[in-house]
Amino acid sequence: MAAEPTTEPAAAAGTVKLGDLTVNRMGLGAMRLTGRGIWGEPDDRERAEQVLRRAIELGVNCIDVANSYGPEVAENLIAETLHPYPDELVIATKGGLTRPGPGEWRRDGRPEALREALEGSLRRLRLERIDVYQLHSVDTAVPLEDQVGALAEFQREGKIRHIGLSNVDTRQLAQARRIVDVVSVQNRYNLGDRHSEGVLNACERDDLAFLPWFPLAVGELARARGRLAEVAASRGATPAQVALAWLLRRSPAVLMIPGTASPEHLEENVAAAALELTDADFAELSRGAAASL
């Protein structure tokens, strides 16, 4: 049986800072609110809209999106469903990846391409300034200082409030921070994939938010057996909830952005904010290999 949502379940895990903004640590990722292959309109637009509205009702006040989700579909959907936005809602979007076709992603970190991406996001989201704008992925064909420098210019123009990075290593993070103030990093990280452990540690040390993408390993952890399933059964929760609770326990820097196209899965995910693991369960899950979870 899944853990049940409380009155304001998204607030149960506390808050995290994004510069001068404070958000609940259980947010929402909007990537799944598109068609298959993160391409085109969602199969069921009404349910996608329900996810967004229900997220706000549950206390979610941070939504992560990108111009490449759809492309453009997720940003349009957010604006069409939620605008005018609640005062406390923080929208974080990204630029730097283009979409030649379904399932295809190409980096484009040229300053002129980033400006075009930003202007498009502002228009679609119906905003004059984006709360957190993230470089979606470092383009190795363009000097990093040029990519980050472009974001700094957009910030000086008043079009970006805060700058975030995505898919970076510790060296790139340090290099970028010598140029601009960075408030967040979004990297792939979950119970079974901890390649970005060093980046997470750096974020915790320096008071940056860390947004783990694929927190459920594209659903693999939700279907897990072994110790993860045992812990879930003992707590009256689902394996997915335990995997999310593990991430929240792993570091106070973690800002969760699990994505879903299902209102039911949204409620299950958000309810994980209230699930507290014992020290023994956390330690055992931390030691476990992905294959044994």
pLDDT tens-digit map of 68-99: 999 999 999 999 999 999 999 999 999 999 99
What contacts 241, CB < 8 A, 6 or more positions away? 2, 3, 232, 268, 269, 271, 272, 275
What is the per-residue pLDDT across 116-148, written as a single tens digit (0 to 9) for each? 999 999 999 999 999 999 999 999 999 999 999
DSSP 34: S
Residue 70 half-sphere exposure toward CB, CA atoms < 13 A: 20
Q: How many CB atoms lie within 10 A of CB 23?
A: 24
Q: Which two tokens stand for residue 42?
A: 């969602």
CB 162 within 8 A of CB 169: no
pLDDT band (50, 70, 90) for residue 5: very low
Residue 192: pLDDT over 50: yes
Evaluate whether 148 touches 135 at the Cβ level (below 8 Å).
Answer: yes
Q: What is the dihedral of CA 16, 24, 90, 139, to 10 degrees?
A: 50
Catalytic residue numbers read 69
Read off the pLDDT of residues 144-165 as tens digits, 9 standing for 90 and up: 999 999 999 999 999 999 999 9
- Output the pLDDT for position 3: 47
**pLDDT at residue 2 greater than cutoff 50:** no
**Interval 225-230 mean pLDDT:** 86
Could you give the strand order of the β-sheet that contains 90-95, starting from the edge strand earlier in sequence?
28-29, 62-64, 90-95, 130-135, 160-166, 182-188, 209-213
**CA torsion through residues 211, 11, 224, 277, sign:** positive
- Quick one: pLDDT at residue 293? 55
Q: What are phi and psi of 28, to 5 degrees?
A: -140, 135
Distance (Å, rounded) from C-alpha 58 to C-alpha 16?
17
Walk me through the domains of the chain, giving residue ranges and CATH numbers: 12-216+253-261 (3.20.20.100)
> Dihedrals φ, ψ of 107, to 5°?
-80, 140
pLDDT score, position 94: 98
Instruction: Quickly count: other Cβ atoms within 10 Å of residue 282's Cβ.
Output: 17
**Residue 8 exposure: Cα atoms within 13 Å on the Cβ side:** 10
Instruction: Write the DSSP symbol of residue 254.
Output: B
pLDDT at res. 291:
42
Averaged pLDDT score across all residues of the chain:
94
Cα atoms in the 13 Å half-sphere on the side-chain side of 39 = 10
DSSP-derived 3-state class of residue 169: coil
Task: Output the six-digit token pair for 268.
Answer: 């299950």
